[in-house]
Structure 1
Amino acid sequence: MPDIYLASSSPRRKELLDRIKLPHQVLNIEVNETLLPGIPPAEQVLTLSRRKAAAAAEKLDAGIIIAADTVVALDEVVLGKPRNAAEALDMLEKLQGKVHAVFSGITLLEIPGNRLLSDYERTEVFMRRAGRAELERYVATGEPMDKAGAYGIQGLAAVFVTEIKGCYYNVVGLPVSKLVMMLEEFDIDVTACWG
């Protein structure tokens, strides 16, 4: 099996790869995540995942890079990571009592050769209406600060989510099943790592 690199500093993505026992190394990369306004969420996550894969490729001679990007979209308006507690609270208040979508883009890049495969996953998330005091207590935990849409479904924010339609792991930040199917196109069988 070729060396596999995760181009992400997200502890959640690393944990998901560890859970499926896919051997990998983490590459911390910095990329400009600024995009022109009005880009649809699916196109945004694809563009950013490709940008991250390209940045990681500059650091390597050989291997397969996994790069991902996740955004939360409410009525096609992207909610990124909050810059401060006030912005986190504002995002959470917008999501209350509504359905929003989580998009994750995945790019696989094989080097040398620059074979590239990109795809995305979309999951709908339903949040109950929560009181301002509940949301303030959640923001005070600090959990929302490094997460798109200002919440982590796998953490304390589970108390706000009533239903999802689609891949749960997509909401965490990496649609595992989609990734496994993409890796199969590179002749990598994840289940072979379970022996």
Structure 2
Amino acid sequence: MPALLLASSSPYRRELLSRLRLPFTCASPDIDESHLPDEPACALVKRLAEQKARALAALHPGHLIIGSDQVAVLADRVLGKPGGFAQAREQLLAASGRSVTFLTGLALLNVVSGECQVDVVPFTVHMRPLSAAAIERYLLAEQPYDCAGSFKAEGLGVTLFQSTEGADATSLVGLPLIRLVDMLLAEGVQLP
């Protein structure tokens, strides 16, 4: 089996990939993650996932490289990582009682063949109506400032949800394992 590399420094993606019980290493790709003018969110995450994988190809010959990128979309507005309390509060107030769709771009690059499988996996979260006080309590408790959409689905963020909708809940955390397994199997990877 070719060596497996996760093109990410995300602890969330690393934890998810470890669930497959395959040996892998991680490296952080250095790419420009800027949106292109008029670029749809779906195209953005596909492009960035593939760019992340390709950015590490020269340094990791013989590898299968996994790239992933995610955005949260609220009524055609892309929600990035908030970075701090004020922005997170604003995002959650805007999302209160509404639906947020997470688009996760996934790429698997075979460095030897040059073939790259790329896909986007959507997952929608229907938010509860949230009071300003509830949002502030949540943000102070969990501080999800490095998460698109301003919540951690794998933590207390689930208390903000009314329901969820999608084929792969792991895509919400940032690495759609069901689709990744399909890609790995297509590359002949034997899973435990």
Q: TM class, shorter-chain normalised? A: over 0.9
Structure 2 gap ranges (5+): none
Superposition pairs of residues 126-137 of structure 1, within 5 angstroms: 126-137=126-137
What's 1:77 paired with? 77
Computed over aligned residues only, the root mean square deviation of the Cα atoms, in angstroms, reads 1.3
SS in 1 for 2:18: helix
What's 2:151 paired with? 151
Residue 36 of structure 1 and its aligned partner are, at CA, apart by 1.9
SS in 2 for 1:124: strand
Aligned structure 1 segments of 4 or more residues deviating by more than 3 angstroms: none
Distance in 2 separating the partners of 1:129 and 1:123: 19
What's 2:169 paired with? 168
Distance in 2 separating the partners of 1:25 and 1:49: 17
Q: TM-score, with normalisation over the residues of structure 2?
A: 0.94
Code of the residue aligned with 1:99 in structure 2: it is S
Superposition pairs of residues 1-195 of structure 1, within 5 angstroms: 1-141=1-141, 143-166=143-166, 167-190=168-191, 194=192
Q: Is the deviation greater in 111-120 or in 100-109? A: 111-120
Q: TM-score, with normalisation over the residues of structure 1?
A: 0.93
Code of the residue aligned with 1:93 in structure 2: it is L
Distance in 2 separating the partners of 1:142 and 1:31: 29
SS in 2 for 1:67: strand
- Tell me how many residue pairs correspond in the alignment: 191
Task: Verify the 8 A CA contact 2:74 2:99 in the aligned structure 1.
Answer: yes
